[in-house]
């Protein structure tokens, strides 16, 4: 178990702090955080897990998507303290022994990214979408991936990658 303490700022002395144990990618991490810290900031700034990206910081773009108890969440809208006792899964944990997750491999094969900024969130949403059994048609994929924006417009290739993994089971 790792333990970290958030850096205190002089103007934050009156802000309440919380002790929280986050179970991230199968490992517990004990943190002392400002009570207002989002899950995204805890992952990036306190655990050095930078796969989830800070895009809009308003829950609209999906770049920060992670799984909490197997369900997709935009981590910029969830407080870290809300995840006490819950399992958080980030894109960093998908590959096993250096072998990419099937969704990661399909994204690479189908060039389902251009700049790559949205890719971790897209991949995490695709993993959840497949686990939920919602990849029946292109329309289904579009609907259930609609919370993830790709400013480069790689949507056709993202759909191809998801369809390939769905077809493989």
At 15 the pLDDT is 79
Residues 144, 73, single domain; the answer is no
This prediction's pTM: 0.90
Please give the mean pLDDT across all residues of the chain. Answer: 93
Residues 85 and 154 in one domain: no
Matching residue, tokens 């900024």:
117
Same domain assignment for residues 87 and 127: no
Distance CA 162, CA 169 (A): 11
Give tens-digit pLDDT for 1-10: 655 555 555 5
87/157 same-domain check: no
Residues 18, 86, single domain; the answer is yes
* 36, 52, 53, 102, 124 from 130: Cα distances, Å: 32, 19, 22, 11, 10
Examine the pLDDT at 70 and tell me if it is beyond 80.
yes
For residue 138, give the CATH number of its domain. Answer: 1.10.150.120
pLDDT above 60 (res 88)? yes
Last residue of a domain, one of 63, 92, 121: 92
Q: For residue 96, what is the DSSP state?
A: B
Q: Is 79 helix (H, G, I), strand (E, B) or coil?
A: strand
111 and 163 inside one domain: yes
CA angle 111, 115, 40 (to 5 degrees): 110
Q: Is the pLDDT of residue 11 over 90?
A: no
Domain boundary among 92, 127, 142: 92
Residue 60 lies in a domain: yes
Q: In terms of residue numbers, what domain contains 67?
A: 2-92
So what's the pLDDT on residue 52?
Answer: 98
Q: How many domains does the chain have?
A: 2
Per-position DSSP letters for 12-72, written without gaps between them: GTTS-EEEEEEEETTEEEEEEEETT-BHHHIIIIIS----S--SSSSSSS-TTEEEETTEE
- pLDDT average, residue stretch 54-71: 97
Residue 53 sits in a domain of what CATH number? 3.10.20.30
- Residue 169 pLDDT level (bands cut at 50, 70, 90): confident
Which of 44, 70, 92 terminates a domain? The answer is 92
**What mean pLDDT comes out for the span 70-74?**
97
The reply to whether 97 falls in a domain is: no
Looking at per-residue confidence, does 9 or 114 come out higher? 114
What integer pLDDT is reported at residue 13 of this predicted model? 65
Given a contact cutoff of 8 angstroms between Cβ atoms, the answer to whether 92 and 25 are in contact is: yes
**15 or 133, higher pLDDT:** 133
Do 76 and 106 belong to one domain? no
């Amino acid at each position: 178990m790792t333990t970290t303490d958030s850096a205190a700022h002089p103007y934050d002395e009156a802000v309440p702090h919380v002790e929280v144990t986050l179970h991230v990618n199968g490992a517990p991490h004990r943190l002392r955080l400002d009570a207002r810290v989002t899950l995204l900031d805890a992952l990036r700034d306190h655990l050095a897990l930078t796969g989830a990206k800070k895009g809009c910081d308003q829950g609209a773009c999906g770049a920060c998507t992670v799984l909490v108890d197997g369900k997709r969440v935009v981590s910029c809208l969830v407080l870290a303290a809300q995840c006490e006792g819950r399992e958080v899964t980030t894109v960093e944990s998908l590959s096993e022994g250096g072998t990419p997750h099937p969704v990661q491999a399909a994204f690479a094969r189908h060039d389902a990214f251009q700049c790559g900024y949205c890719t971790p969130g897209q991949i995490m949403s695709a993993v959840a979408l497949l686990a939920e059994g919602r990849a029946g048609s292109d329309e289904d994929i579009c609907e259930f991936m609609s919370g993830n924006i790709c400013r480069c417009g790689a949507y056709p290739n993202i759909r191809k990658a998801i369809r390939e993994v769905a077809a493989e089971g």
